[in-house]
Structure 1
Amino acid sequence: MTVDLVVVGLGYVGLPLAKEAVASGLNVLGFDAYGSVVDGLNNGRSHVDDLSDSDIATMQSKGFRATSNVEDIRGADAAVICVPTPLSAEGGPDLAAVIAATETIAEALAPGMLVVLESTTYPGTTEDIVKPILERGGLRAGTDFHLAFSPERIDPGNAQFGMRNTPKVVGGIDPASTDRAADLYARFVDTVVRASGTREAETSKLLENTYRHVNIALMNEMSKFCHDLGIDLWDVIKLAKTKPFGFQAFYPGPGVGGHCIPIDPNYLSHRVKSELGYSFRFVELAQEINMAMPAYIVQRSQDLLNDEGKALKGSKVLLLGVTYKPDIADQRESPARPLGVALLAKGADLSFHDPYVESWAIDGGSMTRVADLDQAIAQADLVIFVQNHDAYDAEAYANAAALFFDTRGVTNPDGASHRL
Structure 2
Amino acid sequence: MGANLLAERAGCGGFIGDSGYLSLFEMLKNKTARICVMGLGYVGLPLAKALCESGYHVFGVDPDSSKVNSLVCKKSYISSVKNCEVECMLDSSRFFVSCDFEQAIFSSDVVIICVPTPLTQNRDPDMRYVLAAMNEIANAAYGSGTKLVILESTTYPGTMRQIAEPILRKSMGEVGKDYFMAYCPEREDPGNKEFHTNSIPKVVGAADRESLELAASLYGSVVPSVIKVSSWETAESVKLMENIFRFVNISLVNEMKMIFQKLGVDVWEVIEAASTKPFGYMPFYPGSGIGGHCIPVDPVFLNWKIKSSGMRSLFIDAAIQLNEDVENFVVGRVAYGLDWMFGKGLRGSRILVVGVAYKANVNDFRESPALNIFKKLNDRGAIVNYYDPFIERIDDAEESLSLNGVRSVELSENYLRSQDAVLICTPHDGVDYRMILNNSKLIVDSKNVYKNVSAKNIVRA
TM exceeds 0.5? yes
Count the aligned residue pairs. Answer: 419
168, 186, 207: which one aligns with 2:241: 207
1:347 deviation in Å?
1.6
Q: Match for residue 157 of structure 1?
A: 191
Q: Match for residue 398 of structure 2?
A: none
1:396 deviation in Å?
5.1
Change (3 A) 1:397 1:136: same
Q: Match for residue 362 of structure 2?
A: 328
Q: Secondary structure of 1:193's partner?
A: strand
In the TM superposition, what are the counterparts of 1:240-319 in structure 2 within 5 Å? 240-274=274-308, 276-308=309-341, 309-319=343-353
- Report the Cα distance in structure 1 between the residues aligned to 2:418 and 2:66, rounded to whole angstroms: 41
- Report the Cα distance in structure 2 between the residues aligned to 1:338 and 1:268, rounded to whole angstroms: 23
**For the aligned residues, what is the CA RMSD?**
1.8
Question: Which region of structure 1 is more displaced relative to structure 2, 264-273 or 277-286?
Answer: 277-286
Amino acid in structure 1 at the alignment position of 2:335: Q
Amino acid in structure 2 at the alignment position of 1:46: S
Q: Secondary structure of 1:259's partner?
A: coil
Contact 1:170 1:181 in 2 (8 A): yes
User: What TM-score, normalized to structure 2?
Assistant: 0.87
- Report the Cα distance in structure 1 between the residues aligned to 2:447 and 2:192, rounded to whole angstroms: 18
Contact 1:313 1:348 in 2 (8 A): yes
- Report the Cα distance in structure 1 between the residues aligned to 2:425 and 2:50, rounded to whole angstroms: 33
In the TM superposition, what are the counterparts of 1:42-191 in structure 2 within 5 Å? 42-63=72-93, 64-69=95-100, 70-109=102-141, 110-191=144-225
Contact 2:172 2:179 in 1 (8 A): no
1:75 deviation in Å?
4.0
Q: Does residue 419 in structure 1 map to residue 434 in structure 2?
A: no
Identity of aligned residues (%): 39
226, 229, 236: which one aligns with 2:263: 229
Q: Does residue 385 in structure 1 map to residue 424 in structure 2?
A: yes
1:387 deviation in Å?
0.8
In structure 2, stretches of 5+ residues that fail to align are 10-32, 396-400
Offset from partner CA, 1:154-201 (integer Å, 9 cap, x none) = 111111101011111111111211111000011211211111111100
Q: Does residue 31 in structure 1 map to residue 57 in structure 2?
A: no
In structure 1, stretches of 5+ residues that fail to align are none
Change (3 A) 1:382 1:142: same
User: What TM-score, normalized to structure 1?
Assistant: 0.95
Contact 2:180 2:210 in 1 (8 A): yes
- Report the Cα distance in structure 1 between the residues aligned to 2:104 and 2:204, rounded to whole angstroms: 26
Amino acid in structure 1 at the alignment position of 2:429: D
1:35 deviation in Å?
2.9
Contact 1:350 1:368 in 2 (8 A): no
Q: Does residue 397 in structure 1 map to residue 428 in structure 2?
A: no
Question: Which region of structure 1 is more displaced relative to structure 2, 403-412 or 70-79?
Answer: 70-79
Runs of 4+ in 1 over 4 A off after TM superposition: 364-368
- Report the Cα distance in structure 1 between the residues aligned to 2:172 and 2:267, rounded to whole angstroms: 60
1:53 deviation in Å?
2.4
Q: Secondary structure of 1:328's partner?
A: coil
Question: Which region of structure 1 is more displaced relative to structure 2, 308-317 or 227-236?
Answer: 308-317
Amino acid in structure 1 at the alignment position of 2:327: P
